[in-house]
Amino acid sequence: MDSAAPKGPGHVAVIMDGNGRWAQKRGRPRLFGHQAGARRVREIVAACPDLGVKYLTIFAFSTENWKRTQAEVSGLMSLFRRYIEREARTLFERGVRVRFIGDRMKLDEKLVRLMDELELLTADNDLIHLTVALNYGGRDEVARATKRLAREVAAGRIDPEDVDAETLARFLDTYVLPDPDLVIRTSGEARISNFLLWQSAYSEYEFIETLWPDFTAAEFAKLVAAFQQRERRFGAVVS
């Protein structure tokens, strides 16, 4: 790519929404929609290298999603377990490095073990960095980060006078990741529902009508192309 070429979104974050409505339209249970949604992920991950997307972050379960029925929550948790078991090898072979963000404390032991194993298995991969937000909430993440930072201050290892935005960012779950350039939300809802609050301060947003189980690599490619036409100013005046 020559230097004059438009810059693509190196990091795309996706709020995968609309699984329930997709199922409902077909007269099927919500879990059927979640299964269909999980199947889309493989295609979107596979599309990343050609689109110049090195980092893909997907919202799989929020800290608020525990409010759903016990049947839906446990169905989702077993879907996550099965998904990791089934996809681990393919992800590894395709050069995907997988990370999880969110609070693992509330997740069941078996799932956490699978998450740890997948992170370890793919730790040396570098083609695509896939981050899965699971029991993730932006406010919860900032609160957990603040707690850890406060401990460092209390222990005398950080001077409160030295604390700035960059200091706090080092304690977030995403400390190794660049900020998302583009955040996509499917299903027509124009809200961020507690996703990457801190990190998306200057992200570009796309709210699209497509329900997540209908989202294709072709539509993804269109959004990436549209991103390249946007002018990002980051608060400055561009001459």
From the CB of 56, what's the least distance to ligand IPE, in Å? 14
Binding piece for ligand IPE, criterion CB under 6 A, among 94-102, 145-153, 186-194, 226-234: 186-194
Task: Give catalytic status of residue 124 as yes or no.
Answer: no
Question: Which of 11, 16, 17, 181 contacts Mg ion by CB under 5 A?
Answer: 17
Distances (CA, A) of 162 to 8, 9, 50, 165: 34, 32, 41, 10
* Three-state secondary structure call for residue 132: strand
Q: Select from 81, 196, 200 the least CA-distant residue to 141.
A: 196
From the CB of 111, what's the least distance to ligand IPE, in Å? 14
Under a CB-based contact definition with an 8 Å cutoff, are residues 73 and 28 in contact? no
Task: Give catalytic status of residue 116 as yes or no.
Answer: no
Q: Which does 204 bind (CB under 5 to 8 A by kind): ligand IPE, Mg ion, none?
A: none
Residue 169 is inside which H or E element, if any? helix 165-169
Total number of residues binding ligand IPE (CB under 6 A)?
A: 17
Residue matched to tokens 């990457």: 196
Binding piece for ligand IPE, criterion CB under 6 A, among 13-21, 140-148, 202-210, 222-230: 13-21
> Which residues carry out catalysis?
17, 65
Which residues are at the interface with Mg ion (CB under 5 A)? Answer: 17
